[in-house]
Structure formats: structure tokens, C-alpha cells
Structure 1
Amino acid sequence: MKNNITLITGGDRGIGRATALCLANRGHKVCIGYRTREDCAHEVVENILHAGGTAIAVRADISQEEQVEALFQQIDKDLGPISGLVNNAGMLMLQASIEEVNEQRLATLFATNVSGSFLCAREAVKRMAFRHGGQGGAIVNVSSAASRLGSPHEYVDYAASKGAIDTLTIGLSLEVAGQGIRVNAVRPGFIYTDMHADGGEASRVDRVKDSLPMKRGGQPEEVAQAIVWLLSDEASYVTGSFIDLAGGK
């Protein structure tokens, strides 16, 4: 039986949490990467352990290179060679127009949403690539429908950071395809998660849902199912691709 060992950054809540639980149910050994919500991360681990799965939680600020390196070293030690990465961790600032954006906001946002995903992908490739003695693997980047829609008047900076994730997905998929590594992305939009509260409008999905073709917001589990499929052997010929999960928007 294949030994699937998968890291989910930001696995303590929302889409990350749903993905971790779903992967564990499919037999993956999972690492829950988290930055601050230790109680939430350990709750996910306890749920997985109670169901007979294998999971650990590791604190890491992925905007810090040394913490990313330590995160992967901990996975090597406690679980074994990684086979899957879900670049899910990201942050959202309070809604703002371009006139309210400053250097510190941009630096903080891009350090996590962009640099963090690059650093995690780097460490994963070092372990998965055939040229390093790896067995291949799969990376799924969690982008956003905002990368296509731009999020005017609210989150143009966040949208731009997710545009960078789209480009990372395309370029990296071509760079490592010959090394047995597939790289794909999901682009959720209007999903019921706590992230909207970070932006200052916890009920944002309810506000916009009637404008969506499907007339409803999405659930984290619906995004998780797409991520799990992209990581699986069922998607073995899929790389450099995007799955949009935004109710038709």
C-alpha cells in the first residue's frame, strides 16, 4: 500500500482542516501546519487519531525560511518522506481600497501568501524529485477566485497575491513534471470559512451569495474533495491545471 504523507499548511481551520480530515480518512498520514491556533490544530489531530489515523501538528510561520525548513525536518523525523503538499496557509487583511494600502500591509501579506508557498514548494521538491532520490509526489496550491476577479474595493492586494500563486502553479508544474511531481491548484471563492472575519466582514458570503449563478456559498468540504482528488492517483495525468470552486462566478 502506498505510504501517503501529506502536509497541509494552515490545516487548523476552514479549507485546510476539512482537507486534513478528508485525507486522513483516505489513509494519508498528515501534518497540520499552523501558526497561532494551537488548540485548533491539536483538535484536528485528536479527531484523526480518534478515527484511527496518523497525524501531527507543527507550529511554523511559513513566511520565515528557517521555520519552513524546521517544519519539513520535523515531518521527515516523525512521519517520513513527504509525498503531498497542500499550500493552503494564507492571510487576508481588512477590506481596503488601493488608497489605503501601505508598504507594511503588502510586505506582510505577500510574505505569507506568496513567499511562504514558494518556500514550502521548494522543500517539498527537494524531497519528492527523482533527482534527489525521491519517489515523486503532488502539490496542490490553494489560490482563489480573486485571482481572476480582482476583488476591487476590497482585496486587490490579496487577489494579486493569489495571481502570483497561479503563476507559481503553471511554472512549477512545467519545471518538475519530469521529476515525478504534479502541481495543480484550486481556486475557491465565496466559501463559508472564518477567513472572512479576518477581512472585517464575517457574513460576506451571505451578502454576495444571491449574485452567484448557484445562489449559494460553498462549504470547505467541497473544496477539500477537489484537493484530495488532485493529490490522488486518479489525477495522475493532471498537472498545471486549475479547478474553480466559486459557484459559477
Structure 2
Amino acid sequence: MADKVAVVTGASRGAGAGIARALGAAGYKVYVTGRTTAEGTAEFPGTIHSVAKEIQDAGGEAVAVAVDHAKDEQVEALFKQIEAEEGRLDILVNNVAHIHPELITPGGYWERPLGLVDILNVGLRSQYVASFYATPLMMKTGGALIAFTSSFGSVCYMHGPAYGAQKAGVDKFAADMGVDLKDHDVAAVSVWMGPLVTERTRRAADERPDQYTEFLKIGESPEFTGKVIAGIHQDPKRMELSGQTVIGAEQAQVYGIQDNGKTPPSYREMLGEPRIPHPAIVR
């Protein structure tokens, strides 16, 4: 995998950081993007530079690029930089999202800040923009993968309607981009992550131990999804998955991937299953 290149958006911390570390460990040169460039400037620890250094310290290659994914011109510049420096792009992980501090605060959508809807800008629209600018380079590369990080919140109530709409939206992006990319050797897949053990969920466990303590015992590491994405990219039948939404824990079992010696469970029976796109195509 020495010449393979990946981009992970929103990778200063949380799921993005773990996915970037996993792809670095799998041999990809990882471009780590996000807004946080200095510790203490964000709600939680982590910067694009610290994540890139972790990958490098583990023997991998990484480049930190400061990108505000709400600004299209910065996203365009990112992919122009990658084309100039690498001449290829094998994986785009669309992970960036605006996570409001009150995302998991109880209450109706009208009782919580209107700012929760910003996830439809940075988290939905921004992932379309990243895919738009990345796709021509990925088509040139061939054998490429666009992966969206999603969750069961796409089909069940989870954290309110703005969060749910964003997850349903990226699942639909994968489905419809899969149609457009069918003949271009680029797959588009949405991956449902299970409960993640991140800085945010650890804080939630401190604040609401009755709700989150057990959750952390069975939660997935952020690296787990990165291993699944690497597995999909390296799957000879990758294009058969294009357009689909897959449950990460189930796809991991197909590839024999574990999470720190554990086999994370699927929550299909409890939380729902991915929607199957209708085969009709209207152009």
C-alpha cells in the first residue's frame, strides 16, 4: 500500500482521528484535514498536527492540512494540493461534521439551539463538495473508494431530526453517487458506525454515568471503522458494495476484522437496518 493515498476529513479527534490512524497503520499516506491546528482552541483535545504526528510516530506517512470545510474554496485547494503532490487519490473518507455541544442534550428540537441544524452545512453539504472535487482525481487513479461515516441514526430517532437528516443524507449520497460512478471504477459506500468511545462520549459518561457507563464497555474504538474502510477498499469485490450502506460491525466480520481483540456487535435488531435503494433510475 506504499503508494496509496487517503484523505480523512474532520480528523482532529474522534472518529476521524481514529480512522486516519488506522489507515496510516494499513500503509496509506493520509491527508488529515480539519480546522483545529492548536491545542486549547477547541472543545476537546486533538489537532490535525497531533494526529498526523501519531501516524508518523507509528511508522506511517501523514500530512496535516488546515481546511474549514464550510469554505468551498479551501476544499477545492485541498484536492488541487493532493493532485500536485501525489497525482492520485485512493480513498476519501467523508467524516467532517458540525457537532453542536448540545447534540445529546435531552429535549425537543424546538427546545434546543437552532445551531444544531448546522450539521446540514458542515456534515452534509460539505461532504458533497469534497466528493465533487475529489472524484475526477479518483477516477484518474482507478480502484478508488469514497466512504461516508454514518450511523443507525439514519433510520431510527437519534439525537434529533438534524442529526438524523444528515446521516440519512450521506447514505443517499452513497447510493446516488454509486449510480453515477458505476462505470468509473470508483466505489461509494456509507458505513454505519456503532457506539464510539471518543472524547465526547467519555465526557457524557462522566455527566450521565447511568446512561453511558455500560455503553462505553461495548463501544467501538474510532480505529475500528478505519480498518473496515481499508478492508472495503482492498476487497476485490469492492464495486459490488458501491451504492450500499453497510453496518461496520457486520462488514468487519466478513473480513475477519476485530477491534482490540473484540468482535463488536451489530445493532440491526435493536436500531434498524439500512434502506435498500430502489433500482429505478430517472435521469
> Do the structures match in fold with TM over 0.5?
yes
Q: 2:173 aligns to what?
A: 168
Between 1:61-70 and 1:227-236, the stretch displaced more is 227-236
- Residues 202/88 of structure 1: CA separation in 2 closer, same or farther (3 Å cut): farther
Question: Cα deviation per residue 1:185-204 (whole Å; 9 max; x = unaligned)?
Answer: 1111321113447xx83556
Note the C-alpha offset of 1:13: 1.4
Question: Cα deviation per residue 1:130-169 (whole Å; 9 max; x = unaligned)?
Answer: xxx4434111100122112121xx3321111111111111
1:238 equivalent in alignment to 2:238: no
Q: 2:63 aligns to what?
A: 56
Note the C-alpha offset of 1:49: 2.1
**Which of 217, 225, 228 is equivalent to 1:226?**
228
- Residues 49/102 of structure 1: CA separation in 2 closer, same or farther (3 Å cut): closer
> Does structure 1 retain, via aligned residues, the 8 Å contact 2:205–2:213?
no
1:207 equivalent in alignment to 2:211: yes
Q: 2:110 aligns to what?
A: 99
- Residues 241/195 of structure 1: CA separation in 2 closer, same or farther (3 Å cut): farther
Question: Cα deviation per residue 1:80-118 (whole Å; 9 max; x = unaligned)?
Answer: 321110001112221342223565542x22110101110
Give distance in 1, aligned partners of 2:154 and 2:98: 14
TM-score, L = length of structure 1: 0.84
Letter in 2 for 1:53: G
Note the C-alpha offset of 1:233: 3.4
Q: Give unmatched runs, 5+ long, in structure 1.
A: none
Give distance in 2, aligned partners of 1:233 and 1:2: 17
1:70 equivalent in alignment to 2:77: yes
**Which of 142, 148, 151 is equivalent to 1:144?**
151
> Does structure 2 retain, via aligned residues, the 8 Å contact 1:31–1:55?
yes
> Does structure 1 retain, via aligned residues, the 8 Å contact 2:76–2:133?
yes
TM-score, L = length of structure 2: 0.75
Describe how 1:5-84 pairs up with structure 2 within 5 A: 5-38=5-38, 40-84=47-91
- Residues 102/18 of structure 1: CA separation in 2 closer, same or farther (3 Å cut): closer
> Does structure 2 retain, via aligned residues, the 8 Å contact 1:86–1:142?
yes
Q: 2:120 aligns to what?
A: 110
Letter in 1 for 2:195: F
Give distance in 2, aligned partners of 1:59 and 1:215: 34
Note the C-alpha offset of 1:25: 1.7
- The CA RMSD over aligned residues, in Å, is 2.6
Between 1:87-96 and 1:158-167, the stretch displaced more is 87-96
Between 1:167-176 and 1:67-76, the stretch displaced more is 67-76
Give distance in 2, aligned partners of 1:63 and 1:194: 23
Note the C-alpha offset of 1:11: 1.7
Give % identity: 26
Give distance in 2, aligned partners of 1:174 and 1:30: 27
Give distance in 1, aligned partners of 2:132 and 2:86: 19
> Does structure 1 retain, via aligned residues, the 8 Å contact 2:36–2:48?
no
Between 1:235-244 and 1:114-123, the stretch displaced more is 235-244
Describe the SS at the equivalent of 2:151.
coil
Letter in 2 for 1:231: H
> Does structure 2 retain, via aligned residues, the 8 Å contact 1:29–1:79?
no
Note the C-alpha offset of 1:125: 0.9
